[in-house]
Chains A and B, each alone.
Chain A
């Protein structure tokens, strides 16, 4: 079955450490997205990518980095510069938005906590 796989499901980070969250999709979607979800808030966009080797900052990109070397993969690195990384991170994909605004398909998330 097609879908989005996020790993790991739970992740712990030590102070000063970078961590990378994995997101893989087999839906053949061009566009991929990373969101952060905090309790009582809606999702906030971190980064998005419309095509391989291209990505744009979202509303809260500071302290995060991404790469898009393959269509299927869009890993997110939470750097030590992100001072409050504890959150639930969601990856999503869609048909490219340039073809009309499309619904997004979501993974089951990674919960990141600070040790």
Chain B
């Protein structure tokens, strides 16, 4: 059965320091994995996606994520946080096995301190 666990509901970093947002998943098949970002009162914007190609995926705004099958993880990282990165981040697992199924994590709110 599919599931997504975002291990932290809130993460706080200082501007210029690294960001790590953690995501574990379970899936019965080979899933596609995504990270989305949501700013207040806005829709979600795609940051990056993994679809069984390279395990290190680079996304927009300097974010990247590494797919680790042995650990069933897909953590999101950024070397240096910017104030504009403050938002909510969602890890998403999708698979199509004759029927569409997508599960969203509960979200991690990122705070960036000046």
Contacts and interface: CB of A to CB of B under 8 A. Distances in A.
Given A97-B100, A100-B51, A101-B94, A41 B43 contact: no
B43 A103 contact: no
A41 B90 CA distance: 10
Interface of B: 4, 9, 31-32, 34, 36, 41-46, 49, 51, 90, 94-96, 99-100, 102-107
Given A101-B94, A103-B49, A90 B43 contact: yes
B69 to A, nearest CB: 17
Contacts of B32: 100-101
A100 B96 contact: yes
Please give me the 6 A-B residue pairs with the lowest Cβ-Cβ distance, nearest first.
Answer: A106-B43, A42-B104, A101-B32, A101-B94, A43-B104, A106-B44
Nearest to A106: B43
Nearest to B46: A103
A106 B45 contact: yes
14 contacts: A41-B107, A42-B4, A42-B90, A42-B105, A45-B102, A97-B94, A100-B51, A101-B32, A101-B51, A101-B102, A103-B46, A104-B44, A106-B45, A108-B41
A103 B4 CA distance: 17
Interface range on chain A (Cβ under 8 Å from partner): 20 to 34
Interface string A69-102: 0000000000000000000001010000110110
A78 B4 CA distance: 28
B41 A48 contact: no
A97 B102 CA distance: 11
A44 B101 CA distance: 11
Contact of B100 (A4, A50, A107): A50
